[in-house]
Structure 1
């Protein structure tokens, strides 16, 4: 009635109220018809790993709706080797696939034009996150699906949780595998219906061992990597949480935007870590109920070749930010700190997300973008996202026990020897007792071993301690000669003691890291059980 009153007032109080009501009804009916005819409905069969039964559930649903008189066509189904899944194609109309040649290989692709020409009520399109072969109209299959929806055709499709863009970093941290094929979260959230296809991880592993998911030569590798029991349990928990989160987002979209929401500003760069930073910022903006602004600071100081490479990487970062729903703003400047701080102050944004580049902080503590931005914008909350991708971090954790030489371990070993020698000199002036000097080397080596990355630190600090002790505290001092008969025994004890103490500290550090990961996995399993 408010709309009727508004239209009546706009008309100056003139006109037939019944005619106005009739016109409103006609416009509403036309809008409903346009919505029904102009846009199809999307149903997603959602799973946490390959083999849980998404395609099987989709084909089963297709038979049900076909029995109700709906015109159903199979546009594309991945050529699985599972007999029970292929058997469900019987009784359904299957469109011929499109053959695309790429590098002298014939690839099977979904024929979008054939589906549009056939124009069924429902079309089945498997593997929503698939990347189309070069030569297809769209680069990604989800874009084919969007065109079908715009044509008014309903679509059934399948997707796994690891293919959602917003969960890429989280999935990579759990599985040590970063999926290359992804879809924007908006496609998943905009689906009219999402059916979670669930299966116990133990049952999924049984299916894998029986050869129903991968070829026999791939089973062993899959079980030891992606399809480990802990990975599947974590992926299952993430999928269930994401499906529930979709309902929360859908209900939040029906109410006005919260006035107290906090906006987020993210610095977009050409670095390889930019996608991780953008995803983190988009997730923060959604969690705080605000919008995300992606700020690009362009600089003209690079050469032509470097600029072309940077432009390509920056374009990919901007495209990802747009997919994540961010508003793009471009500024110019040689240093990104001041433009970011000034824009945040002008826009009233109090949360800023920037990449954190390990190793860029100099000896004087300057050079890191995050720390400088904190000084330039003291009223803002600056979040520095680690630039190292999750698989690299996991790989570094797994190589703690290796003997790979790192610059940080060399530095720590030299520092331990220098500090122990300096303390030894002080102790020698007070009381020239060899036992006190030996304990000083052992203690300092043990303390710094808690920060070491590998066992080569223990080797370096043990050998260096023996050499330093011989040079500074064995008669004759400040030479590498040792005339005492007990010197070889002292050197051996110092070498073994320092090596053993440092190795033990590093091993305890690795065990603490493993215990923390196990505690997280246990919490995931408990939380998953509570959800069920």
Structure 2
């Protein structure tokens, strides 16, 4: 039975039209004569989507009861029994109700595909498992329903359904996506422009990787090894030397000139795993590469060039960046280097050779460096041993001259050369071979005590001896060097693995430092942190320590290894070799994340305490508001009744006192209401309903709420004022609070002024109180400090309400005058406000 084909409509966000596109495809296939049925479609109340399903046969859903409630799901058994050619299944990542045949809808789809039924389905990018954490960071919402990426990657066809963020938000405002009671919350949270843009980019990047996988699969199936330059891929070959940073920066500049270029780096490790490369250098180069947007890769291979070219072909690389050769003239004459061989074998791949400071170019003659594997001590010990051992052997063989021939003498000298090679490596072995040949010629070939040789067979014997001694010495030295490196690598791996395991177990810093101290035989060790505020003379603090008398500053340590910009590892004890310092640096690198995790854990604990305190404070405010609201309302009503029940005309002083008491009680009640609204807003319990609102109507409602004092406020509004996108109730609440605050701080003959002006796609509402501007006018005395106005409860509430509606609130002070500017999105962007002011 043929396997069905899977087609996915991938949406960048909810509401872009995935279900509608799926139904359009179903109608198209039906018009071509295909047997198409609807297995499951969820129109979410959208009439155009529901209308597009007209004419398509729909498989009735099955009903499942869970926890006393009835739910409907796709009837998989009915679909399999019907066996259509194509089935339309909405929401691929959906979780089925417990009790269904499968836990996930994608498992239902796989059964349909196994039965030979083609499936057309929909999926949002936020439901992909690999992007779940990224989506949560962007939107603040963790998706409970996720789909394994492999299910989507195995689809035969994926089509992206996308809309610009502005168009999607416009559809949201018009009610084409969510019901009215969810529009405002969606626009201010999940459907913000930044969120939609990030989701769109994620969908495009994920789909681009899917297309790349399809291209690689097609090339593999058709045996195409030549690179296809569908996009530029630049590969940097890293040898582990100091020139790596130069190559990475040069490749990054090449990559920056072509948009869409991918930057890669490769380091080839020998198959035996033995390398003298400093891992700290490679780690630094990897961090530099990742900071420039590249990706680091590592592979093993017997031949560097072959491994490099194989990787380049597999990754469809178009350009390779190599460093200029560090080999000398003699080595270049004897054989082609990596760069030359790469150029010859690269084919259509361009190869860039970049010069650097480490490149061979100086004419200075350099002496051979002692073997890294043997170390300088063994190197010089082997040379000294050859100088002493060879003359002693020559003296011994002279005594035995009558009993041994030249061949026996050469065998004894060969044994000495092998011993020297085992101790010191190649160069001491070559020195011992030449020295032994000269001694054998001088003491044991005729004429004796002369470097001349009379017999041809003795010349041949000496030449063969030198060649044999050189070859045997080289092999013995290489074997000893590899053995030493293997033992060294095993010890290093053991130390690093133990430390990594301790870090993974969550051991504290003192325990980790004690482990490092014991591994290297140090007397004491400290992790020091530099005070960032001490600019001239650095001050250091001991984060953790182990051992007796640990160093308290880097200068007091025998060994120092930086951990980061502000951390360093300082130790006292015996001097460490270069290899030990390299391993110590790797251990120090493990301490940086451990220290950061400990600090984050401490901050998290403190944040939890603050969050608990904040929740407690908010709950107390809410409780206090509820408890105070009823007594204040009762007091206000009592004062009002007391004023009405007075017989006759009350005295002016009594009337004024009653009015003052009623105003104070009303003000206290209003403050309690403001605190309640502010707490609900911060707790996320205040519902928002964003829609186009007529500003004139909102201002009229706010003036009515202000009572008699609101009628004195001056309005200066344009004749043609576009609607503002806001919550009408909350905007009225904010404008009422701003108006009341302005009335309280205005002079009797200077009422507050409300103005409005359109600026681009935003609408500015400005509230100015009735106070003089650049200085006190004649006859006017300012009796308040306007600087404290910005911290008032009314302004805090209005600012938080504005930000919840995707707006902003700013204050300004000029002399004694105080103004507030409330900015909100405009429903119809236009130019600036024109004439036609009404006061």
Q: Please report the TM-score for the alignment, with normalisation by the length of structure 2.
A: 0.30
The structure whose RCO (Cα within 8 Å, separation 6+) is larger is 1
Task: Pick the structure with greater CA Rg.
Answer: 2
Q: Please report the TM-score for the alignment, with normalisation by the length of structure 1.
A: 0.46
- Higher relative helix content: 1
